[in-house]
Amino acid sequence: MIIPTLDDAPTIAKTLENLNTALAAAGAPAEVLIVDAGSRDGTLELAADLADRYPLLHTRLLVQDRSQSGFGSVLRLGIAYAEGRYCVVLMPDARDPLELIPKMLSELRGGAHLVLCSRFDGTTVTEDVPRRFVVYQNLYQRAIKLLLGVDIPDSTYGFRAFNRTFVQALGISGQRLSVCSEMTFKVMLAGGKTVRLPGVPTGPMVREQSKFRLGNELAGYMVTLMRASLHRFGVRWF
């Protein structure tokens, strides 16, 4: 389990409590890597205390210099230090539907290379996802279908599971949140098996904790999609 953090002291305790409950119920062994991007609000100190409180999680803490950190670089650091064959990425805001983890791992053991939690597949309730996110995801989904010929409703959500060695071999390089769509597209283009599981966030997005800024991320999402499209037509991306 990889949990990227940046100033998440208000929610990290609930995240680890939920994870401990989910894994205890499933009886699944785990290693948790909390990869911090230079928090200044006590996230690391709190995480260290929580590691002692929840020994089932076998938590390790990794720290990257804040000036060099982005979601993508933090995620890659976690992947590099992970020891298991499979990785699950969790967001630190205590909203991910962690009850999907056993199903995610089952799909990976059955041969999947990437398992996506999909919030926008037409069967889930999205009241806790702001309307603007639903709109841009719908537009991005249409662009993906047009340029890549596949229907992926939620290619950007961080909560996902994947075969670590397969993904590492693809050379994930993104620095920001677009690393999630990069991983999705590269697995697909490499012929990997992708499975989509519908999932509903368990609470409303906490504005002051959300590090997502649509204006900052749009360019990265579009560049990633264009690279995937060009790769499909012979301009190699990886």
**Which pLDDT score is estimated for 208?**
45
Give a yes or no: residue 238 inside a domain. no
Tens digits of residue pLDDT in 172-197: 998 889 999 999 999 999 999 999 99
Question: Which of 43-57, 108-122, 143-157, 201-215 has the lowest average pLDDT?
Answer: 201-215
At 145, which CATH number?
Answer: 3.90.550.10
- Counting every residue, how long is the chain? 238
Look up the pTM and report it.
0.89
Q: Is 191 left (phi over 0), alpha (psi -120 to 50) or beta?
A: left
Per-residue CA distances from 191 to 37, 106, 236 (Å): 32, 20, 15
Give a yes or no: residue 100 inside a domain. yes
What's the mean pLDDT in 92-110?
95
- Domains of the chain: total: 1
Domain that holds residue 86: 2-232
Give a yes or no: residue 189 inside a domain. yes
**Which pLDDT score is estimated for 209?**
44
